[in-house]
Amino acid sequence: MAKEHLSNEAFFTQLTSLIEKTQQKGHGAVYLTQKRLTFDASSTTTTAQKIADDPLWDLNPPNPLPLIIRATDGKSHKLGPEGTKGGKGGRTKNADKVKLKTVVQPDDLDAFFAKYAEVCKAGMQSLKKRDRSKRKKASKKKGGAGTGGDGKV
Amino acid sequence: MVYLATPEDWQRQSSLLLQARPTTARITTKYKIPNLESSKYQKALKRKRDTETGEKDNAAPKVPKGSLVLKTYDPESGVVLKFKTDKAADVGRLIGGLGRLGRHMAALPESTEGECTLPSATWSQLTEFNKDAVMEDAGAPEPTTADSSRTAKAGPSSDSKPQQAPAGSGSGGGGKKKKKGKK
């Protein structure tokens, strides 16, 4: 947690390059996490304080809370000098682990996720492309029925 | 550790979990490209070669297939909901789903505009809920919804016929259609 929070813009540019790097390398993983941010940096305590004996204390907060989005390459450990796994000193903490994080304010949520989807769609190239020939017909039928029914109700 | 069968299921269950535990639950999205040189995959290949004659293997496994796993985890109750896909087509709407789940996390009301602009057809489960709600409110519109869905079904097929006809008319349209049907 050495680094500061990135701005949403900077997060996206770095996330794009992280996914791209993984893609070019040909193997690897990217982990993306999202969570409610309950820790306020300006005050020392958590903003949402747990109320004793009430299990539903966090269900209706007075104000919308920001989210924290994290991205890592999942490389917490380095392999040993000869690439040996396990054993004594075989794995060491990886100081170069890629860690990105950004805070999204409630107001920016929709815009953020729209951009997020774009970045992911553009970056994740190893997933199966849509099979244009067969699947299109089936999905067309389904899609037509769904939207038609919805629109007129 | 449960893998849910459909993205709709995952979305619904996750949304329920988030409504119950908005502070502790988190969503992790893992995009993984496997390393085909790792020992795990080498073993798998060897086994295949033992059983089959290994000529198929040479062509197939050179491109690693990526996968996307979505996981909703709540450490307080220990609930894990997972969904795995390998289709690029799912990415957009899954992330859209993350956005909607994000609204639960942020304690915002369920999205007002976002839901309408999304391709509602893909979220068949959601539309079903909507229909049910309407029917409960007033029994009358039931026949009209059925009619509208019928006309909607008829719509694309009537559209597609004229499209196919000119393409096939060049060289015996009837024969071509039959071939397409068989495939």
User: How are beta strands B2-3 and B79-85 bridged, if at all?
Assistant: parallel
In terms of Cα–Cα distance, which of B112, B74, B66, B127 is closest to B91?
B66
Which residues neighbour B50 within 8 Å (Cβ) at sequence distance 6 or greater?
A: none
Please indicate whether, in this complex, the C-beta atoms of A26 and B64 are within 8 angstroms of each other.
yes
ipTM of the complex: 0.71
Single-letter code of the amino acid located at B50 = D
Distance CA A63, CA A120 (A): 30
Mutate to test the interface with B, among A37, A67, A152 (most CBs of B within 10 A): A152
Tell me which chain B residues have a C-beta less than 8 angstroms from the C-beta of A104: 102
Looking at CA atoms only, how far is residue B105 from chain A in angstroms? 5
In a domain, B167, yes or no: no
The dihedral built from the CA positions of residue B131, B136, B138 and B142, taken in this order, carries a sign that is: positive
Tracing tokens 């989807």 back to the chain, one arrives at A117
Distance CA B176, CA B183 (A): 11
Q: Give the single-character DSSP code of B28.
A: E
Which pLDDT score is estimated for B31? 94
Per DSSP, chain B holds a count of helices (H) and strands (E) of: 8, 4
B66 touches A: beta carbon within 8 Å: yes
**pLDDT single digits (tens) B75-125:** 989 999 999 999 999 898 899 999 999 998 888 887 555 444 444 444 444
In terms of Cα–Cα distance, which of A7, A45, A22 is closest to A123?
A22
Which residues neighbour B105 within 8 Å (Cβ) at sequence distance 6 or greater?
A: A34, A35, A36, A65, A67, B18, B22, B25
Domain ranges of chain A: 8-152
Give A20-32 as a 3 state SS string. HHHHHHCCEEEEE
Please indicate whether, in this complex, the C-beta atoms of B106 and A106 are within 8 angstroms of each other.
yes
In terms of Cα–Cα distance, which of A67, A68, A72, A1 is closest to A31?
A72
Single-letter code of the amino acid located at A143 = G
For the structural domain made of A8-152, what CATH number should be given?
3.30.720.10
Residues B80 and B145 in one domain: no
The DSSP H or E segment spanning B71 is: strand B67-74
Distance CA B27, CA A123 (A): 20
Task: Number of A to B CB contacts under 8 A, please give it.
Answer: 192
Q: Give the single-character DSSP code of B86.
A: -
Residues B12 and B47 in one domain: yes
Average pLDDT of span A35-64: 64
Question: Residue A55 — pLDDT band, cuts 50, 70, 90?
Answer: low
Which pLDDT score is estimated for B123? 46
**pLDDT single digits (tens) A121-144:** 999 988 888 766 665 566 666 555
Average pLDDT of span B53-69: 66
Please indicate whether, in this complex, the C-beta atoms of B66 and A142 are within 8 angstroms of each other.
no
Question: Residue A93 — pLDDT band, cuts 50, 70, 90?
Answer: confident
Tell me which chain B residues have a C-beta less than 8 angstroms from the C-beta of A65: 105-107
B75 touches A: beta carbon within 8 Å: no
Distance CA B104, CA A50 (A): 18
In a domain, B66, yes or no: yes
Which pLDDT score is estimated for B10? 94
The dihedral built from the CA positions of residue B100, B101, B106 and B110, taken in this order, carries a sign that is: positive
Lowest mean per-residue pLDDT among A65-69, A118-122, B39-43: B39-43
Looking at CA atoms only, how far is residue B102 from chain A in angstroms? 7
Our count of domains for chain B comes to: 2
Residues B128 and B52 in one domain: no
Lowest mean per-residue pLDDT among A23-37, A56-70, A72-86, B147-161: B147-161
Which pLDDT score is estimated for A147? 47
Range of the domain at B95: 2-112
Question: Residue A146 — pLDDT band, cuts 50, 70, 90?
Answer: very low
B102 touches A: beta carbon within 8 Å: yes
**pLDDT single digits (tens) B115-168:** 444 444 444 444 454 555 545 554 444 444 444 444 444 444 444 444 444 443
Residues B145 and B97 in one domain: no
Residues B34 and B101 in one domain: yes
